[in-house]
Structure 1
Amino acid sequence: MNRGLIAVALAAVSLGTASGYGLYRVIMTQGEDTSSREAGIGAPEKKVLYWHDPMVPGPRFDKPGKSPFMDMQLVPVYADEAGAAGDDGKVGINPRVQQNLGIRTTEVARKELAPVVSAVGSIAYNERDVVLIQARSNGFVEGLHVRAPLARVHKGQALAELYVPEWIAAQEEYLAARRVGGGTGLNGLAKAARQRMRLAGMSEDQIRTVEARGNVQPHQAVTAPVDGVVTELAAREGMTVAPGMSLFRLNGTGTVWLNADLPENMSVQVRAGTAVEAQVSSMPGMVFKGKVSELLPEIDPATRTRKARIELANASGELTPGMFATVSLASAPRAAVLAVPSEAVIQTGERQVVILMQEGGTFKPVDVQAGIEANGWTEIRKGVEAGQTVVVSGQFLIDSEASLKGTATRMNAVTQATHRTYRTEGKVEDISKEEATISHAPIPALKWGEMTMEFALPAGGMPKGIAVGDKVVFEFSMPKEGVYQITTISRATASGSGGRKAAGAS
């Protein structure tokens, strides 16, 4: 291993404010330094980009001079310092290192995204296929053919045998009227008697049976009007029935409902008629297709979901109410939008960031506003433009590099301990509502010489008795970069005002 490289790394570890940062920078620049030495290229003359005050790094100046904020000279920032906190957060990485890190990029493009909404749900009976069978006259249940609920029945199948005295009287009257007419057809009296049977509650099938057999039918069968399942069974053999009493409740099974629970924020992407594909765990590999019948106008307050009612064909009866199902709903494609691969978006919780690759091989993190996601692509509503290049892989290493460079710049400008308190003395030059201008003594702990600068007033304001021109002893801290907050201040005593003393940190 190169001994010089080892020495540089050890020096960075021992002298740097963060040992990991020093070693990291040595490794990151190794490829660039080695390639320069191998090519025999000397260090080029540095180009000054701008000048700034390290203690107030935001404002930039196009020429050297004295800082308008502090009693000190402006400091130059060179072109090869790309990636410092004062250079818009850009970071430069040697191409050889980029290749070693496996950094991949792609262009921001316009795409038609059709997001697929995934949800879960359960199978239920189609409530539109419900049939209720009731008693229409007083009578008795003489026989019962279906004795348990959830039994499957077919259209025309006998469910029960009823004995209804009123029906017997109506049948006898009808048959007598036909005999009076000679049995050749329905006269006026026979028609009236037939209508009476219908009003008594007999069905057309039961009336036709009486006409065909020509005699009274004391027991009448109640048959199933549809294919389905007996979901409710109220009839019992031997019981008395009255008009309006429910005997059976049938539910057809030719179609079923799939009630899917859609997350509240995704339900807006679904409309009635949206195509659906569903799968159930008991039949792996089988896909059931249908459409959204309607979105129920209600949000579950506990789960924050909205139900989508989906109708599925069930001719073979394989889908049974209560089955658990997974659902995929494909919304209609939207107009082309700016999009990047989803893996290019860094989610920080409060921010969404992508890393842009700029001319000259530098990288810059940019805040974006992301939209819908579909097929591995994410819509970008704000922050980038078509044709720009974003980093797809390795962006976390670049983001870490930018953060390390920004941290190093701030540490050089201020100091590691920004929350320490410093004590010094000086003379009050001016007092405003929020600040006091003080000419203070040198502060060796901060490597400051004598200077005049502004300090934020204490939390309770300037104490009474201190005026412009007074000599004071005060302490201050730096709660954030570029802010100098007075914590305590008092007038200097006679013994302490004879000359300025060197101040330090407390």
Structure 2
Amino acid sequence: MRTKQWVVALVLVAVGVGLGWTMARRTPAPDVGATAPASSERKVLYWYDPMVPTQKFDKPGKSPFMDMELEPRYADEGGADAPGLSVSPQAIQSLGLRTATVERRSIAGHVEAVGTVQLNDREVSIVQSRSNGFVEKVYARAPGDVVAAGAPLVDLLLPEWVAAQREFLAVRALGDAALTAAARQRLTLLGMTEALIAQVEISGQPQARHTITAPGGGLIAELMVRQGMTVTPGMSLARINGLGSLWVEVAVPEAQAGALHIGQAVELRLAAFPSETFRARVISVLAETSRETRTLRVRLELPNPAQRLKAGMSVQASLRGPSQDLLVLPSEAVIRTGKRALVYVVDAPGKFRPVEVGLGREIDDLLVVLAGLEAGQQVVASAQFLIDSEASLRGLLPVPPAVPGSGARP
């Protein structure tokens, strides 16, 4: 009985093994590709040299610039073909990155400059001799003195005038009105004043001495006459500068010269009068720019009725013009490379894009934007140099500014 049981068990095992083998042959093998996810390869955009990231290559190999292998730039990494540079929130926080808004503001034309007070060269009087003669007396005058109009300067002995006066008196004694008028006219042409001629007529005696007076009040800039010297016709004896008004010459940077115009009102502050503000106007913008300081000389006219202001004083000038509607951004947001100016525009949180901008003049801590940006855009105001370094390594190129009138957009 036991032998029969073992035989039946072996037969059942054999039948099971056979059935399993038969079913395995009839069942198709599972499709590994259908059940396992397909392995995807990263797409390579181009190869590049990290030291020269802007140069692209179509295939791998040795760099022509450095002794190193070219590295691939993948499509999912960003680069020159990507719209911008992504920075994680953690990196933004660690960098202390700040942003600023590009704004359109109404800004008054305002130029600050320094200058000095000078004598007004349009109020100059030259005292000259009208005839040959000798200096008998020089009054107590010296260069730098301030004299009033009509103040005596020098006494001259003029022999030629004596002969002409004697002739006039002789003709006058004849009673011929026409000849007397002609002789009197000759005295005037010789340079005699009406007061001197009247004195000769009243006294009936020639006047050999003549006192030359200041034709107008002001500063004696030059005094070229001394007692005992001989004078000749046309010889300059003194130069007098009027003090009723003064000039102020200020140096304006050439970048701000476009805001200047003749007649522009100017406010002046002087260290000698800290609590007062003086008003002047632009009378001339000189035609030559200083090669050393790159500044333009602007001449102002300043009234000086009380003669409190002195030549040589330093002034702080504030030139104001009409308001202009300008697009501005903070100066700290701009990266200057020498050839161009860049800013990093915030396209989205953590997404930055370099943009080349055209800039105008600087007003305090703001720069006027001429091209490349629009009002309301956000730009990076700090840590932009670190972002720029990363963008350079990735070959992210800035967008050039639109040319005015071309219709192109930055």
TM-score normalised to the size of structure 1? 0.57
Cα pair distance change 1:161/1:69, threshold 3 Å: same
2:79 matched to 1:90?
Answer: no
Contact 1:365 1:399 in 2 (8 A): no
- CA distance in 2 between partners of 1:187 and 1:93 (Å): 109
2:115 corresponds, among 121, 125, 141, to 121
Contact 1:111 1:337 in 2 (8 A): yes
Number of the residue aligned with 2:213 = 223
**Residue by residue, what CA displacement relative to the aligned partner does 1:226-260 show, whole Å, maximum 9, x if unpaired?**
11111111111122222111111111121222233
Deviation at 1:177, TM superposition (A): 5.0
**Residue by residue, what CA displacement relative to the aligned partner does 1:190-238 show, whole Å, maximum 9, x if unpaired?**
3233212212220223224444556543322111111111111111112
SS in 1 for 2:317: strand
1:87-486 equivalent positions in 2, closer than 5 A: 87-94=82-89, 101=96, 103-106=98-101, 108-175=102-169, 178=172, 181=175, 187-211=177-201, 215-334=205-324, 336-360=325-349, 362-392=351-381, 395-396=382-383, 399-401=385-387, 403-404=389-390, 407=393
Contact 2:92 2:350 in 1 (8 A): no
The unaligned stretches of length 5 or more in structure 2 are 1-39, 62-70, 396-410
Deviation at 1:54, TM superposition (A): 6.7
- CA distance in 2 between partners of 1:201 and 1:278 (Å): 44
- CA distance in 2 between partners of 1:128 and 1:90 (Å): 63
**Residue by residue, what CA displacement relative to the aligned partner does 1:441-478 show, whole Å, maximum 9, x if unpaired?**
xxxxxxxxxxxxxxxxxxxxxxxxxxxxxxxxxxxxxx
- CA distance in 2 between partners of 1:87 and 1:327 (Å): 50
The unaligned stretches of length 5 or more in structure 1 are 1-47, 60-66, 411-506
SS in 2 for 1:261: strand
Deviation at 1:402, TM superposition (A): 6.2
Deviation at 1:136, TM superposition (A): 0.9
Contact 1:149 1:230 in 2 (8 A): yes
Cα pair distance change 1:178/1:51, threshold 3 Å: same
- CA distance in 2 between partners of 1:317 and 1:276 (Å): 19
Deviation at 1:293, TM superposition (A): 1.7
Q: Percent of pairs identical after alignment?
A: 37
Number of the residue aligned with 1:55 = 47
Cα pair distance change 1:402/1:191, threshold 3 Å: closer
- CA distance in 1 between partners of 2:216 and 2:283 (Å): 23
SS in 1 for 2:274: coil
1:5-44 equivalent positions in 2, closer than 5 A: none
- CA distance in 2 between partners of 1:308 and 1:73 (Å): 59
Cα pair distance change 1:74/1:243, threshold 3 Å: closer
Cα pair distance change 1:405/1:239, threshold 3 Å: closer
**Residue by residue, what CA displacement relative to the aligned partner does 1:376-397 show, whole Å, maximum 9, x if unpaired?**
43221222123322344xx21x
Cα pair distance change 1:302/1:338, threshold 3 Å: closer
Deviation at 1:303, TM superposition (A): 3.9
Structure 2 counterpart of 1:241, which letter?
V
Contact 2:286 2:296 in 1 (8 A): yes
Deviation at 1:115, TM superposition (A): 4.4
- CA distance in 2 between partners of 1:269 and 1:308 (Å): 12
Question: Comparing both chains, which one has the higher relative contact order based on Cα–Cα distances under 8 Å and sequence gaps of 6 or more?
Answer: 2
Deviation at 1:331, TM superposition (A): 4.3
**Residue by residue, what CA displacement relative to the aligned partner does 1:18-58 show, whole Å, maximum 9, x if unpaired?**
xxxxxxxxxxxxxxxxxxxxxxxxxxxxxx9x944473599
Number of the residue aligned with 2:67 = none
- CA distance in 2 between partners of 1:288 and 1:270 (Å): 19
Contact 2:329 2:368 in 1 (8 A): yes
SS in 2 for 1:229: strand
Structure 2 counterpart of 1:144, which letter?
V
- CA distance in 2 between partners of 1:136 and 1:73 (Å): 95
Structure 2 counterpart of 1:400, which letter?
L
Contact 1:56 1:69 in 2 (8 A): no
Structure 2 counterpart of 1:165, which letter?
P
Contact 1:293 1:309 in 2 (8 A): yes
Cα pair distance change 1:158/1:212, threshold 3 Å: farther
Number of residues paired by the alignment?
A: 341
Deviation at 1:372, TM superposition (A): 1.8
Structure showing greater radius of gyration is 2
- CA distance in 2 between partners of 1:118 and 1:98 (Å): 39
- CA distance in 2 between partners of 1:375 and 1:70 (Å): 51
Contact 1:115 1:372 in 2 (8 A): no
- CA distance in 1 between partners of 2:129 and 2:367 (Å): 61
Cα pair distance change 1:190/1:355, threshold 3 Å: same
Cα pair distance change 1:363/1:165, threshold 3 Å: same
Q: CA RMSD in A?
A: 3.8
Contact 1:292 1:310 in 2 (8 A): yes
- CA distance in 2 between partners of 1:365 and 1:288 (Å): 47
